[in-house]
Amino acid sequence: MSYLDESRSCLAALQQKEHLRILAIESSCDETAAAVVEDGRKILSNAVFTQIDLHALYGGVVPEIASRAHVEKVDRMVDQALSDAGMRLADVDAIAVTYGPGLVGALLTGVSCGKALAYAAKKTLIPVNHIEGHICANFLTDPDLEPPFACLVVSGGHSHLFLVEDYGVYKIIGQTQDDAAGEAFDKAARVLNIPYPGGPLLDKLAEQGNPHALKLPRPKTEGKYDYSFSGLKTAFINAVHNARQKGETLCDADLAASFRHAVVSFLVDKAMLAADDLNLKKMALAGGVSANQLLRREMEAACKKQGIQLFMPKLSLCGDNAAMIASAGYYRLRRGEIADLSLNARPALRLQSK
């Protein structure tokens, strides 16, 4: 029997099983991660190796270095996730793997590892979209969260406002027309000589600054709930360069605070506008930028004011990890979405809008 025929024949039994323990692998960018999660909600282990130190020297992620580091680390992370969960490969019910979006070489490492393990151990393989994983980080934080809810996904590569209508049913309400919010934070940080990855350090520095020191424009967008960060980033960089050329001394904390305030108020205002128009009652945050302290505070205040229930991933689950991939994989398996060994990396994979 072929691998896929065998997987299909096991599917019904797996779907009826009371408890499902899924091993997941994540390698879409600069984190090599593996985790075991039970029933999409309970983390049994969550091993993450971050490559930050390897890329810091170059001021950003170097795809070739990322791929090599994933190759070196992926087996070890899988071993660690299994041993931390007190399990052997034979004990897991299925293997979920991120197959996109992300860096092609980085994704290929995880996909190849997932396929090899699934084939060798005769396990069902589940293909997972990285963005969907970020959304599912909320299921790991809050056991009571159920769709429908809106989710603002803000990461290094994406800024989307989704309506999660049901498990696996996503509708894009708004999205960035150009740069992602995380990318804008990283570029703004670079002009302040903050080392990579700039977002978290800019956030920290901004806590001591005056958010109204530098006035930045509010970007215009075509769609009512869309975002745009490219103009904001350029306006910020130009303002800093102009001031430096004139010999003016600007306080870095004030600059960081002003930029953070501009990005966050834009993110929050649009999300709240959508919530109001569409009568949304539950809102979630996801992605690396959801760790931003001001975004968390402002969303909390805005949701409270509008009577919306807010869900935010634990800080340890905001960035890339494999537990969120296992959670997304669980709901995909429940829906019968499995892969065969022809699964390939899909760098530009989109989260289907229905």
The residues that touch ligand KG4, with contacts defined as CB under 6 A, are 29, 155-157, 182-183, 185-186, 197-200, 203, 287-289, 291-292, 319-320
Applying CB under 5 A, the site for Zn ion has a residue count of 2
Nearest-approach distance from CB 310 to ligand KG4, in angstroms:
17
Nearest-approach distance from CB 49 to Zn ion, in angstroms:
15
Structure tokens at 104: 């092609």
Asked if 203 touches Zn ion (CB under 5 A), the answer is no
Nearer to ligand KG4, 21 or 70 (CB): 70
> What beta strand segments (E) does the chain contain?
21-26, 31-38, 42-50, 94-100, 124-129, 149-154, 159-166, 169-175, 282-286, 309-311
Structure tokens at 270: 């649009």
Nearer to ligand KG4, 8 or 190 (CB): 190
CA distances from 302 to 170, 253, 262, 291, 298 (A): 24, 25, 16, 17, 6
Q: Look at residue 179 and give the partner it binds from ligand KG4, Zn ion, none, a contact being a CB closer than 5 to 8 Å depending on partner kind.
A: none
Asked if 155 touches Zn ion (CB under 5 A), the answer is yes
Site string for Zn ion, 301-330 (x = CB under 5 A): -------------------x----------
Q: Look at residue 203 and give the partner it binds from ligand KG4, Zn ion, none, a contact being a CB closer than 5 to 8 Å depending on partner kind.
A: ligand KG4
User: What is the enclosing helix (H) or strand (E) of 264?
Assistant: helix 252-277
DSSP for 137-178? HHHHH-TT--SSEEEEEE-SS-EEEEEEEETTEEEEEEEBSS
Do 130 and 160 form a contact (C-beta atoms < 8 A)? Answer: no
Nearer to ligand KG4, 4 or 59 (CB): 59
Nearer to ligand KG4, 20 or 164 (CB): 164
CA geometry: angle 108, 28, 329, nearest 5 deg = 90
The residues that touch Zn ion, with contacts defined as CB under 5 A, are: 155, 320
